Amino acid sequence: MSVLRRFFEISPSPTDTPELALAQWRALSRQVPLMYIMLVANTLILAWTHLDAAPVELTVYIPAALTAICLLRTITWWRSRERVLDPSRVRAKLRGIIWTGAAVALGFTAWSFSLFPYGDAYLQSQIAFYMGITTIGCMFCLMHVRVAALVVGICVLGPFAVFFSATGEETLVAIAINMVLVVAVLLIILLSNSRDFADLVDSRSAIARRQLETLRLGEENQRLANMDTLTGLPNRRSFDRHLATVLQEAELEGRRIVVGRLDLDGFKSINQIFGQLAGDRVLVEAARRIESLRRADSFVARLESNTFGLILVEPIDRQTLVHAGEVLCGAMRLSFEQPEGVIRLTASAGFAVSEPGDTGDQLFDRADYALSAAKREQRGSSVIFSEVHAKEISRVRQMEHLLYSADLDDEIYVVLQPQYDVSLGATTGFEVLARWRSPVLGEISPAEFIPMAERTGRISNVTQSVLRKALAISRTLPPSIRLSVNLSANDIGSTTAIEQIVALFERGRGPCQIDFEVTETAAMRDLKQANQSLLILLGLGARIALDDFGTGHSSLTHVQQLPLHRIKIDRSFVAEVTNDIASRAIVKTMVDLCRNLGISCVFEGVETEEQLQALVALGGTVMQGYFFGRPMAVDEVEAYLQRERARRSREDRAAG
């Protein structure tokens, strides 16, 4: 009983899991037909041995009916062996097997007992053997559905044991006992095998699930690796791969393609003013607008923070590209309605058309240069890469090569622009401005080579060359004249660069007449490091000026935290001081601020008498600009100072 109870308790039902039910059905589809064939064969043999002993009803008609039922079931199972069933249908059929097995077992058992009275001892023993061996065979065929096997065993074993024990014949009683023992052992074996079968199915199902999960994760990783999760657009990796494919196809077919880059102008300020979440929503909306405008054969991707990439295929002409640029940039000018407020921005775009032999990187770089040209010259619109841009790139690359290999002490020279104190009526200093005269390209504008030097890491070398010349010039000037030298963000952000500057001062020891000018933007990169660097320069006897004051983001904070002697008011305020009330108010505030802090201020870009008078009326004293003098060569400084001294002498005599 404990075996049976354990059998019922542990055995999984045919409805436990869909995978187990399907596996049981597949196993039975192979084994049940064999079971019915065995039943038919054994039944026909038993009926044949009883032909002369039992009535024809028991030896012909009933066996024929049982055989027909078995053959019909065999045909049914054979036809359904390849049929794909859903788990619910399989579960229903497995439950049906249990009841069918019970009915067939009882039917064959009853027929077997009906033959018993008509035979001699041999035939009676054959009946016992038939029932035992057939039951064991049927149970083995049904072993994957343990409940069905158990039901068949009980339906035969119970009547078998009672019937043969009741005969009183020792042999038949022994056979009944043997039958009980064999079936009990068989149940234990079936219990183990069925459990192993269920475990195997479960293991295979788990492996299949893991494989599916691995496949799903692989597909998900592939998707994530090639998709921008914020906007849902393809990412840079996908863009590069698609560009290589499309470019190769275009090369084979003799077609051209276009690569475009679209950049949201001033996007960083959106994150600073409205917050990161608002910025993300703007990017999502921008991506949606671009995606809604693209042609079916074009490709759009998000390349980086606020930059999108486009790949267009023919038909392409200049007019089409101009129109595409207008549409795209126009779509970005529409306001972005956000919970934080209405956000307005512009977008610039650059396009480059492929040429035979182009690589993806070359085409992308040309589109990037066109984008830079748009931001520099036509912000908020699009630019198509042209031959002019190609020449510019060639010149820039040549300039970079020449700058890297240049003898800076020989090729860099300086000019000096005076800084005039109107309260003293005298020049009190000069700003030292770097110029580059290349033996190959000739004169190169500072607007070109200074940013290039910063980008290529040569700016510190330029600074040291300029500073060496400034120190040499300062020794030829009166002690009251100071020279202002500009420092870049690389200079004040590098301990090594500061140490090299200190070394230059130590070699030319003497009274320091140098002022160092740093921009607010340079100080913002690393305010702590900038402060440390400037304190070291102060220890040399130098003074510090904050250049382009008013154009940064947190000017008052920087004025408070940096060790400053002077600030230079940006020329943008000076240009409007004569006709803009707000500019005059700002200038007045700056003058008062400097006075309260005990530092001086210099107004840059003074070009007219009207500007001078307006600034003086507001309290300004030190001026710099074309009105007082353009940048001059070093050998012109002495003559300039002599003319100034002569003018002052004439004014003093006239006043006396």
Active site residues: 604
Which SS3 state, helix, strand or coil, does residue 618 take? coil
Quick one: angle between helices 387-405 and 360-377, nearest 10? 90
CB 439 within 8 A of CB 384: no
Q: Maximum distance among all alpha carbons in the chain?
A: 167
Q: Which residues pair with 299 in a beta bridge?
A: 311
Q: DSSP assignment of 313-340, as one string?
A: ESS--HHHHHHHHHHHHHHHHS-EEETT
CA atoms within 13 A on the CB side of 411: 20
Q: Which residues contact 458 (CB under 8 A, 6 or more apart)?
A: 403, 404, 408, 452
Using alpha carbons, select from 592, 644, 581 the residue that is nearest to residue 620: 592
Contacts 24+ apart (CB under 8 A), 208-211: none
Q: DSSP assignment of 486-526, as one string?
A: EE-HHHHT-HHHHHHHHHHHHHT-S---EEEEEEHHHHHH-
Dist CA 77 CA 69 (whole Å): 12
Neighbour tally for 255: CB within 10 Å: 15
Which SS3 state, helix, strand or coil, does residue 18 take? helix
Using alpha carbons, select from 437, 559, 453, 550 the residue that is nearest to residue 497: 453
Which SS3 state, helix, strand or coil, does residue 433 take? strand
Q: Which residues contact 16 (CB under 8 A, 6 or more apart)?
A: 198
CB 415 within 8 A of CB 636: no
Token pair listed for 293: 């405008």
Dist CA 392 CA 152 (whole Å): 93
Residue for token pair 């045909």? 75
Neighbour tally for 40: CB within 10 Å: 18
Residue for token pair 């019915």? 36
Please state, in angstroms and as integers, the Cα–Cα distance from residue 379 to each residue in 188, 263, 266, following that order: 85, 10, 10
Output DSSP code: residue 269: H
Dist CA 7 CA 2 (whole Å): 8
Q: Which residues pair with 353 in a beta bridge?
A: 258
418 prior amide bond cis, ω within 30 = no
Dist CA 355 CA 209 (whole Å): 50
b (16+ CB within 10 A) / e for 291-327: eeeeeeebbbbbbeebbbbbbbbeebeeeebeebbee
Dist CA 90 CA 83 (whole Å): 11
Q: DSSP assignment of 394-421, as one string?
A: HHHHHHHHHHHH--HHHHEEEEEEEEEE
Q: DSSP assignment of 365-396, as one string?
A: HHHHHHHHHHHHHSTTSEEE--HHHHHHHHHH
CB 336 within 8 A of CB 282: yes
